[in-house]
Amino acid sequence: MKTFTIRDFRTRPRAVREALAKESKALLTVSGRPVAVLLPVNAETYDQTLDVVGRAQALQVLNQIRQRAAATGRNRIGMREIDAEIDAARREVAPRKRRARRA
């Protein structure tokens, strides 16, 4: 994968476009740190590319949630404990809803 600095992106946009056409993706950096992945798109592939990127982001978030659950031990709780948590949360919210309807 080709790497471009933010300065390259600003001063040589044509080189970036050409590299994307050849490489299919490029990394954008600022002060040596990655900040973005660039993907080539056109009018025909724009929606499909956004859909794929959205799915990849969702998988990334799911992976982070799983890592946090493992780090805190929440990945070992059973369905009974999960159901109990949900019931407790619903009981906590229900009185507030009743008060709001009376007002």
Give 32-68 pLDDT, tens digit per residue: 999 999 998 889 989 999 999 999 999 999 999 999 9
- Whether residue 94 is predicted with pLDDT greater than 80 in this model: the reply is no
> What is the Cα 10 distance to its own chain's centre?
26
Question: CA separation (Å) from 22 to 15, 27, 40, 47?
Answer: 11, 14, 10, 21
Per CATH, domain 1-40 is 3.40.630.10: no
CA 36/CA 28 separation, integer angstroms: 5
Q: Could you tell me the pTM of the whole model?
A: 0.60
Highest mean pLDDT among 17-21, 29-33, 39-43: 29-33
